[in-house]
């Protein structure tokens, strides 16, 4: 598994390189490159804002409310056990009042993290499956995936905004710009940015599945939960409004109903492939680890 994880890290870095190349390429086309540093600065500012406020944005979008240990004892017990095993601080816990089964974690670092479950997921999962899901979500925090997704979303958003500027104002074609190249960039750059952002999101989901299964020592619990979530989200999808679309990449399962082409542009990898990987991990990784035994069969320790 360590080889696959190493490959995923390189893949994420390469995808980020392409994403920033698209942004800087757009800057180079407009007025002969005079705005290239402006676009780079805007991308950095948008990234910082999204990263710093990721928890507030996601929790507000899901209308989630904070819960105490008295209100959600099972959820508190599981998260406390897993965060203690990982030697990480206890995150804030929230519940979203929606029947759509899902969960997400957010926050700029483990000290400022929040984990949220919907009422729907708490109804359909047993304790073992919920433990698998919460292990997955905690690993998103410990792997700093919120930073990764914030950068990808912010840069992709800047690229789309610049493309709209090119469409409406021509990007300085009267001052030496190449109108054909700018027109092509205006159409193709947002599509490229979106595809790259989706590829980054899918790569991080695979890593969180693997690392979460190592944290809990029970890959099949997460596999079972994912199978239930696939059915549950198809029966009770979230409405595809803008606020929810913007935070959907944080969730453990794609919250929207989609088929055909929509699946190609999903923020999550196919459930069948995720389950297949977890089953392989359970079948070839030796005996299941205890929740506190964070070192996997290949010696990998995800938090150090």
Assess if residue 293 is contained within a domain.
no
Q: What is the pLDDT of residues 34-72, one digit of tens each?
A: 666 676 677 667 667 766 777 788 899 999 999 999 999
Assess if residue 291 is contained within a domain.
no
Assess if residue 226 is contained within a domain.
yes
Two tokens, residue 15: 């995808």
Mean pLDDT of 275-287: 78
DSSP code of residue 251: B
Q: What is the pLDDT of residue 193?
A: 64
Give the pLDDT band of residue 137 (cuts 50, 70, 90).
Answer: very high
Assess if residue 295 is contained within a domain.
no
Strand order in the sheet with 65-66: 65-66, 92-96, 114-118, 103-106
3-state secondary structure of 65: strand
Q: What is the pLDDT of residue 215?
A: 96
- Asked if the model's pLDDT at residue 116 lies above 50, the reply is yes
Strand-pair category, 114-118 with 92-96: parallel
Contact 96, 62 (CB under 8 A): yes
Q: What is the pLDDT of residues 244-265, one digit of tens each?
A: 887 888 899 999 876 544 555 5
DSSP code of residue 105: E
Mean pLDDT of 182-209: 72
Mean pLDDT of 197-204: 75
Greater confidence, 37 or 293? 37
State the Cα–Cα distance between residues 202 and 199, nearest whole angstrom: 5
Evaluated on CA atoms 196, 238, 127, 278, the torsion sign reads negative
Greater confidence, 163 or 80? 80
Assess if residue 298 is contained within a domain.
no
Domain count, the chain: 1
| Non-local CB neighbours of 304 within 8 Å, separated by 6+ positions | none
Q: Per residue in 2-34, is it b (16+ CB within 10 Å) or e — as a string?
A: eeebeebeeebeebbeebbebbbbbbbbbbeee
Greater confidence, 24 or 222? 222
Whole-number average pLDDT of the chain: 78
Backbone angles phi, psi at 63, to 5 degrees: 55, 40
Q: How many CA atoms lie within 13 A of 203 on its CB side?
A: 24
Greater confidence, 34 or 121? 121
Two tokens, residue 226: 């994912």
Assess if residue 117 is contained within a domain.
yes
- Asked if the model's pLDDT at residue 124 lies above 50, the reply is yes
Assess if residue 240 is contained within a domain.
yes
Give the pLDDT band of residue 203 (cuts 50, 70, 90).
Answer: confident
Q: What is the pLDDT of residue 298?
A: 37
3-state secondary structure of 285: coil
Q: Look up the domain containing 175 and give its range.
A: 2-284
Q: Return left, alpha or beta for 65; rule: phi > 0 is left, psi -120 to 50 is alpha, else beta.
A: beta
Burial tier of 80 (Cβ tally within 10 Å: 0-12, 13-18, 19+) = middle
Mean pLDDT of 210-236: 95
Q: How far is CA 152 from the centre of its chain?
A: 10
Q: How many CA atoms lie within 13 A of 242 on its CB side?
A: 0
Nearest to 258 by CA among 236, 235, 234, 242: 234
* DSSP H or E stretch at residue 85: helix 73-85
Q: What is the pLDDT of residue 286?
A: 41
Assess if residue 294 is contained within a domain.
no
State the Cα–Cα distance between residues 124 and 224, nearest whole angstrom: 11
- Asked if the model's pLDDT at residue 274 lies above 90, the reply is yes
Query: Mind telling me the catalytic residues?
Result: 137
């Amino acid at each position: 598994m360590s080889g696959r994880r190493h490959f995923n890290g390189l893949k994420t870095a390469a995808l980020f390189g392409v994403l920033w190349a698209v942004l800087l390429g757009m800057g180079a086309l407009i007025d002969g490159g005079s705005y290239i540093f402006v676009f780079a600065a805007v991308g950095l500012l948008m990234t910082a804002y999204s990263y710093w406020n990721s928890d507030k944005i996601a929790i507000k979008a899901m209308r989630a409310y904070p819960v105490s240990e008295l209100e959600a004892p099972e959820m508190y017990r599981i998260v406390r056990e897993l965060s203690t095993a990982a030697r990480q601080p206890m995150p804030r816990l929230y519940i979203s009042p929606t029947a759509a089964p899902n969960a997400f974690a957010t926050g700029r670092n483990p000290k400022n993290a929040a984990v949220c479950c919907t009422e729907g997921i708490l109804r359909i999962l047993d304790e073992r499956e919920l433990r698998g899901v919460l292990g997955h979500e905690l690993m998103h925090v410990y792997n700093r995936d919120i930073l990764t997704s914030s950068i990808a979303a912010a840069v992709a958003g800047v690229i789309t905004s610049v493309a709209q500027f090119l469409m409406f104002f021509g990007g300085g074609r009267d001052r030496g710009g190449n109108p054909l190249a700018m027109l092509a960039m205006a159409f193709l750059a947002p599509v490229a940015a979106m595809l790259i952002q989706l590829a980054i999101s899918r790569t991080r989901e695979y890593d969180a599945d693997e690392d979460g299964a190592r944290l809990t020592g029970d890959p099949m619990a997460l596999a079972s939960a994912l199978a239930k979530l696939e059915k549950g989200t198809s029966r009770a999808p979230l409405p595809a409004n803008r606020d929810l679309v913007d935070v959907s990449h944080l969730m453990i399962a794609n919250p929207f109903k989609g088929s055909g082409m929509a699946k190609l542009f999903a923020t999550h990898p196919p459930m069948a492939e995720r389950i297949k990987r977890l089953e392989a991990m359970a079948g070839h990784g030796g005996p299941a680890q205890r929740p506190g035994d964070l070192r996997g069969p290949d010696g990998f320790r995800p938090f150090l």
